[in-house]
Amino acid sequence: MSAWSKIMECVPNFSEGRDLAKIEKIVDKFRAKAGVKLLDYSNDEDHNRLVVTVVGEPDALKDALLEAIGQAVELIDLTKHSGQHPRMGAVDVVPFIPIKGCTMDEAIALSKEVGEKVAALYRVPVFLYEKSASAPHRENLAAIRKGEFEGMAEKIKLPEWKPDFGPAERHPSAGTVAIGARMPLVAYNVNLGTANPEIANSIAKKIRFIGGGLRYCKAMGVELKERGIVQVSINMTDYTRTALYRAFELVRIEARRYGVPVVGSEIIGLVPMEALIDTASYYLGLEDFSMDQVLEARIME
């Protein structure tokens, strides 16, 4: 991997978190490929979702992704899918993140290449989002996904929601997909000691930017039925400008009004070291601490 001149990251989300055989078939498309490294994958049964983190040289990464997307379109039928996480496609979202030796413009160009191919090969309509968006109202993934798979049958026929690539008709079983380029995102969930979903939803509305909360924070309430608790599921879209500890503390402050404790938190997938160091520095009260003092960071220079 160190010999790669360009490193692009991709974190595709697939709408399958329960059938392990299907999950392995999808993930297998990223294994043993030259120019591609599978870093992580995690499935969540409550969300019924698979999140894969993969890095690679742009062209090799593109080829592996197209194989995985094709496999997911073949295996996942959204007419029989249910889960806590909103979804509009078998492959729900495919973000590209420039990591080393490549720019955001290159990530945008790659997202458009992949989008065009997905539409041509699999007849799945593609919306470009975030930095790749073709119009301001398409930048926010939540706005594109609103109505989910079921609502997209009619929504996609509206002129303002004509897909960027592919037919203006929802794929009968695989739905639609959002593909784009963005900054590194941290998927961070805070678990609450209650089974009341209204509390999680209320807190999520207060902490997310659109509700007057933290600038680079998106959030929603989720039930974890097997554990008998609820969760504030958070996407931190720019951890360098809104730190993880701020989201955690704001959830705790808002939960206090309901007499509900925070019982834990979790990070889904991979997280930049800097995001954790920043939070550790805050809770330890470290003075004038920098990433240069982290042993592993210095070794990797």
pLDDT for res 184? 86
Alpha helices by DSSP H, listed for 175-243, are 197-207
From the DSSP assignment, how many helices (H) and strands (E) are in the chain? 9, 11
Sign of the four-CA dihedral 192, 197, 199, 200: positive
DSSP string, 267-283: EES---HHHHHHHHHHH
116-157 pLDDT, tens digit per residue, is 999 999 999 999 999 999 999 999 999 999 999 999 999 999
pLDDT for res 2? 54
Phi-psi group of 285: left, alpha or beta (phi > 0 → left; psi -120 to 50 → alpha; rest → beta) = left
The 10 Å Cβ neighbour count of residue 243 is: 19
The answer to whether 297 touches 218, Cβ cutoff 8 Å, is: no
The answer to whether 172 touches 223, Cβ cutoff 8 Å, is: no
Q: If the chain, 301 residues long, is cut into consecutive pieces of 10 residues, what is the mean pLDDT of each piece?
A: 82 95 97 94 91 95 97 96 91 93 94 98 97 96 94 96 97 97 92 98 97 96 95 94 96 98 93 91 94 85 66
Q: Tell me, rounded to whole angstroms, the distance of Cα 280 from its chain centroid.
A: 24
The 10 Å Cβ neighbour count of residue 136 is: 8
CA dist., res. 59 & res. 62, Å (int)? 5
pLDDT for res 38? 96
The sheet that has 229-236: what strands, in order across it?
217-224, 229-236, 186-192, 262-268
The tokens describing 279, both together, are: 């939070």
Mind telling me the catalytic residues?
85
The answer to whether 244 touches 232, Cβ cutoff 8 Å, is: no
The 10 Å Cβ neighbour count of residue 183 is: 18
